[in-house]
Structure 1
Amino acid sequence: MKAPGEEPDPRFTLANERTFLTWLSTSLALSAGGVAMAAVPEDVFVPWMRTTLAVVLVFLSAVSAAMAYPRWRRVQHALRNAAPLPPPALASILGYGVAVVAVLALILILLGR
């Protein structure tokens, strides 16, 4: 069954698809970062902080992966109906989340534990 609205320019559809795939690759990188953080030796970071950072990274990975397809679908719908594109809510969640992890890791590195 054909989706309602007009078929968008293929360049826009393909750009939307590339963005979707980028969110998935970001999710994979966050997941790998979380696993790497969990594997850091105990003498580098205190265990509870290492676990916290790992959990936050894997959680951000799950959020990114889970929200990628609905975002793609909303953008595609907007393109088909010549409507304004939806705001990128996922960007702020990931941006702030990664910033928090980076600041906490930096503090731990500077404090030597």
Structure 2
Amino acid sequence: MEEKPDARYLLANERTYLAWMRTCLAFIVGGAALSQLGVEHRYAWLRALTVGLAVLGGIVMTPLVYRHWRVNERALRSDAPLPGHHLPSVFLALTLVIGAGLVALLALAR
């Protein structure tokens, strides 16, 4: 008789997936909000770059997050070891680049 996986692990995997999806959505919405700010200065290209990275980062990361959830779900259901992943590193790099762009925008706006 096949043993079902512990529901707590499946639900924890789903909570993690939803948290990653909220982060992707926050990148997209944050980029859209930044594009609507009325701050005009000579470094408009920097704002466009920061907005583009935020929105594109959120869009690109969304299917990667889904794939990660699906792979973990399969591993949990088949009692296989969970695979390693680089998602936190990618999110960290994306957040640092966008944050640096925002700091530069604020510093150069004066």
Per the normalisation by structure 1, the TM-score is 0.84
User: Could you list the per-position Cα deviations for residues 21-51 of structure 1 after superposition, in whole angstroms to 9, with x for gaps in the alignment?
Assistant: 1111111111111101111224257211111
Q: Choose which of 72, 76, 79 in structure 2 pairs with 1:79.
A: 76
Alpha-carbon offset, residue 111 of structure 1: 3.4
Structure 1 letter corresponding to 2:5? P
Aligned length, in residue pairs: 109
Structural RMSD (CA): 1.9
After the TM superposition, which segments of 4 or more aligned residues of structure 1 sit over 3 Å from their partners? none
- For residues 108 and 38 of structure 1, what CA distance do their matches in structure 2 show? 12
1:15 aligns with 2:12: yes
Counterpart position of 1:25: 22
Q: Tell me which residue corresponds to 1:37.
A: 34
- Percent sequence identity is 35
Gaps of 5+ in 2: none
Give matches, 1:1-113, under 5 Å. Answer: 6-43=3-40, 46-112=43-109
